[in-house]
Amino acid sequence: MDSEEVIRVKDLYKIFKLGKERVRALNGVSFSVQKGEFVAIVGTSGSGKSTLLNMLAGLEKPTKGEVVVAGEHIEKYNEQQLVRFRREHVGFIFQAYNLMSTLNAVDNVEMPMIFRGVGREARRKKALKALEMVGLKKYISHRPNEMSGGQQQRVGIARAVVVDPEIIFADEPTGNLDSVSSREILDILQKMVREDRRTLVMVTHDDELAGYADRIIRIKDGIIQSVQ
């Protein structure tokens, strides 16, 4: 793996058993992602795109094949090793925001740093900087129920990037948002990739949103149809 390649997937299969049937969610997928690249994985519901993202993030194990992320063969890891891998290398942006309803914006953004043992003062400083980056300086004391969907997703982005992960994974990050908020979120993500040279892999069913990416991988029935 050269120094610029941060993800490599080779002959990846995921087979589920449904009664007597075997369903191939992924059917021999291979591709790579370079450092500082914004890649969109596009497909309809049931295409295998979310399964693929979960494999890359170490949330699901493949039936067979290689998944090399940040130089680590994560397909060989046990759950404890995967937890460590995710904590050290990965930021995740969820469709449903996954914010703690009892915490305000800055406390939500601090959460990943607590697990990394970052001191309170340093945590607060980094969290405030991340919230400022996503345009939420005035909302640091707001709880999720006091913010719009777009604002909550901005908090989600700040939380994902605050630990400086090598790779950010985004699962339908605008799935619950209107078109204006969706474009605002994609502008933030695109700017983050360009200015900070972060690597971002996003799953979406929306061609317009995929257009923000440097490269689009289209997947159907667990097979890559095209890369453009």
Q: Is 135:154 a contact under the CB 8 Å cutoff?
A: yes
CATH class of 5-227: alpha beta
Give CA 164 to chain center in angstroms.
13
Alpha-helical runs (H) found in 116-170: 120-133, 149-161
Q: Are strands 90-93 and 21-34 parallel, antiparallel or unpaired?
A: unpaired
DSSP letter at 189 equals: H
Q: Is 27:204 a contact under the CB 8 Å cutoff?
A: no
- In the chain, domain spans: 5-227
pLDDT (tens digit, 9 = 90+) per residue, 201-224?
999 999 999 999 999 999 999 999
pTM for the predicted model, two decimal places:
0.92
Q: What is the pLDDT of residue 2?
A: 45
| Residue 23 pLDDT level (bands cut at 50, 70, 90) | confident
pLDDT (tens digit, 9 = 90+) per residue, 65-121?
999 999 999 999 999 999 999 988 999 998 888 999 999 999 999 999 998 889 999
DSSP letter at 76 equals: G
pLDDT (tens digit, 9 = 90+) per residue, 159-179?
999 999 999 999 999 988 999
